């Protein structure tokens, strides 16, 4: 699942570009969790908020149909063209691959002609409702980043509800209602997402936009994620700062775009006319050729990598966090309560790393006093709005000091020149060396290095070079 060097280089280039521009035109990738920087006290890790890339999430889902035997073709049956009840020469036979329409054909590569599609049995038991639930499960919290798009092969259903779950399918909430007649079907006034605003963006609406039956050519149903983003980021999503600011400070908004499962409840097929033609029930069925869901693993801004292993998605957590969503601090890193990373301040966000537990530190280090979270003081104030926050800055020295708590975590950094790591917070250096990682000659600091000492001062790389090498290291294990 690991992406190629090309992507690594691409990610590196994006990152370097953004490092070179203090206010880049395109920002908010959050694709690096840490870089090395140089301060007066030597090399330290600079941590930042990070998240996996947005990707096609249909590759990682499990699909379940209810009723389980609702797929057509067992026993084989003939169905008629939607618009013409006398054209009944289409066959569905589950035992013949060319004539079968199993659920996986909703997620295969589309773009060939004719399209491949899942199809239900026909409405032969009318007037009993023909209802089908299609459940898509990730067994992992994911954040939606683009519209959900469902392409029907038949007419679009007369009535449908898109639902979401945040607890792996135990409870469900509606996302959006779809009907030819919202008032009749769900006792709701029809609305469009465009009728909403920043203040009503979380409202659950019923829309008639996508339910015009087979009489129009369009076969597509959207759940409009981007239109909702646009209330904060502008119509072309240029002001992502504002959106990320809101996502950071409004948990409900963030949760709105977060799911573990989606459920498409097909309640009534397209009939295209007022009355159901009971003599030709083989005209009525559901067929879906494609479902698009784009999103990313929710890792609480503590990981850029989400691996798919053993049919399971898991964040590869950084910042001393652990758990499938990086939702808690690692053992021995519970020096302060766990906290998600923050998108703010822009562009690098705040990592809110977990820090070593007090008991594992022994003597509190001198920089203990700056552990109180800078972000909680300056960033997480819900009254602040994004444009202001975009301008608020934390000096690089502050940030560097703040992150220095786990300066020689064995997983992150090693003391140099024979130094040993003491309780994750300091290097114990051999007599001839000093500096936070024992990287400096003591004589150099005292200005007494003689030409015969045999050791010149260590080559101090320029910060940009150090950053580059750190990025090369960090960019390698990208996934997706």
Report the interface residues with Ca ion, using CB under 5 A.
105, 108, 110, 116, 289
* Separation between Cα atoms, residue 240 and residue 386, nearest integer Å: 10
Q: Return the number of the residue (45 or 117) whose C-beta is nearest Ca ion.
A: 117
* Separation between Cα atoms, residue 252 and residue 461, nearest integer Å: 46
Q: Which residues pair with 132 in a beta bridge?
A: 266
Q: Return the number of the residue (55 or 116) whose C-beta is nearest Ca ion.
A: 116
Q: How far is the CB of 219 from Ca ion (least distance, A)?
A: 12
| Of the candidates 366, 449, 408, 358, the residue with the CA atom closest to the CA atom of residue 42 | 408
Helix (H) or strand (E) holding 467: helix 463-475
First and final C-alpha spacing in the chain: 7
Q: Return the number of the residue (104 or 203) whose C-beta is nearest Ca ion.
A: 104
Q: How far is the CB of 151 from Ca ion (least distance, A)?
A: 8
CB 5 within 8 A of CB 14: no
* Separation between Cα atoms, residue 428 and residue 433, nearest integer Å: 9
Q: Return the number of the residue (110 or 255) whose C-beta is nearest Ca ion.
A: 110
Q: Return the number of the residue (103 or 458) whose C-beta is nearest Ca ion.
A: 103
Q: Return the number of the residue (59 or 124) whose C-beta is nearest Ca ion.
A: 59
Q: How far is the CB of 386 from Ca ion (least distance, A)?
A: 40
* Separation between Cα atoms, residue 315 and residue 301, nearest integer Å: 10
Position of minimal CB gap to Ca ion: 116
Q: How far is the CB of 131 from Ca ion (least distance, A)?
A: 22
Q: How far is the CB of 109 from Ca ion (least distance, A)?
A: 8
How does DSSP classify residue 350? B
Q: Return the number of the residue (110 or 146) whose C-beta is nearest Ca ion.
A: 110
* Count of other CB atoms within 10 angstroms of residue 90: 14
* Separation between Cα atoms, residue 434 and residue 445, nearest integer Å: 8
Q: How far is the CB of 63 from Ca ion (least distance, A)?
A: 12
Question: What are 33's two structure tokens?
Answer: 């969790």
Q: How far is the CB of 108 from Ca ion (least distance, A)?
A: 5
Q: Which residues pair with 427 in a beta bridge?
A: 421
How does DSSP classify residue 430? -
* Separation between Cα atoms, residue 281 and residue 430, nearest integer Å: 86
* Separation between Cα atoms, residue 108 and residue 153, nearest integer Å: 14
User: Roughly what angle, to the nearest 10 degrees, separates helices 5-20 and 463-475?
Assistant: 150
Q: Return the number of the residue (108 or 208) whose C-beta is nearest Ca ion.
A: 108
Q: How far is the CB of 59 from Ca ion (least distance, A)?
A: 14
Q: How far is the CB of 153 from Ca ion (least distance, A)?
A: 8
Q: Return the number of the residue (41 or 110) whose C-beta is nearest Ca ion.
A: 110
| Of the candidates 397, 300, 324, the residue with the CA atom closest to the CA atom of residue 33 | 300
């Amino acid at each position: 699942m690991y992406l190629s060097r090309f992507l690594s280089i691409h990610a590196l280039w994006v990152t370097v570009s953004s490092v070179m521009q203090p206010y880049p035109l395109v920002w908010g990738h959050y694709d690096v969790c840490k870089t090395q920087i140089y301060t007066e006290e030597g090399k330290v890790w600079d941590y930042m908020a990070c998240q996996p890339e947005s990707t096609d999430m249909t590759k990682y889902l499990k699909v379940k149909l209810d009723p389980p035997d609702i797929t057509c073709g067992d026993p084989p049956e003939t169905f008629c063209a939607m618009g013409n009840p006398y054209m009944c020469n289409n066959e569905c036979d589950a035992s013949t691959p060319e004539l079968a329409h199993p659920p996986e054909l909703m997620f295969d590569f589309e773009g060939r002609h004719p399209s491949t599609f899942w199809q239900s049995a026909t409405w032969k038991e009318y007037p009993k409702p023909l209802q089908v639930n299609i459940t898509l499960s990730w067994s992992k919290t994911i954040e939606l980043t683009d519209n959900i798009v469902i392409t029907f092969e038949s007419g679009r259903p007369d009535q449908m509800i898109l639902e979401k779950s945040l607890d792996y399918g135990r409870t469900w909430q509606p996302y959006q209602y779809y009907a030819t007649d919202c008032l009749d079907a769900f006792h709701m006034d029809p609305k469009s997402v465009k009728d909403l605003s920043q203040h009503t963006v979380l409202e659950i609406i019923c829309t008639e936009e996508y339910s015009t039956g087979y009489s129009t050519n369009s076969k597509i149903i959207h759940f409009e994620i981007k239109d909702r983003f646009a209330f904060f980021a502008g119509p072309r999503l240029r002001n992502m700062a504002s959106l990320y600011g809101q996502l950071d400070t409004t948990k409900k908004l963030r949760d709105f775009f977060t799911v573990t499962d989606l459920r498409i409840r097909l309640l009534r097929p397209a009939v295209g006319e007022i009355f159901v033609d009971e003599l030709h029930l083989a005209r009525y069925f559901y067929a879906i050729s494609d479902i698009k869901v784009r999103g990313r693993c929710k890792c609480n801004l503590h990981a850029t990598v989400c691996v798919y292993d053993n049919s399971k998605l898991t964040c590869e957590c950084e910042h001393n966090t652990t758990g499938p969503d990086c939702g808690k601090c690692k053992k021995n890193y519970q020096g302060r309560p766990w906290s998600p990373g923050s998108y703010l301040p822009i562009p690098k966000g705040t990592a809110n790393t977990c820090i070593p537990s007090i008991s594992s530190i022994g003597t509190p280090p001198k920089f203990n006093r700056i552990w109180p979270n800078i972000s909680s003081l300056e960033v997480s104030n819900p009254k602040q709005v994004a444009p202001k926050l975009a301008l608020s800055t934390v000096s690089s020295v502050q940030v560097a000091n703040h992150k220095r708590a786990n300066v020689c975590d064995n997983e992150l950094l090693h003391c140099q020149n024979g130094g040993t790591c003491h309780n994750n917070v300091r290097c114990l250096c051999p007599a001839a060396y000093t500096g936070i990682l024992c990287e400096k000659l003591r004589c150099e600091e005292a200005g007494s290095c003689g030409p015969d000492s045999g050791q010149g001062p260590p080559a101090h790389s320029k910060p940009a070079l150090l950053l580059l090498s750190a990025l090369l290291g960090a960019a390698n294990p990208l996934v997706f």
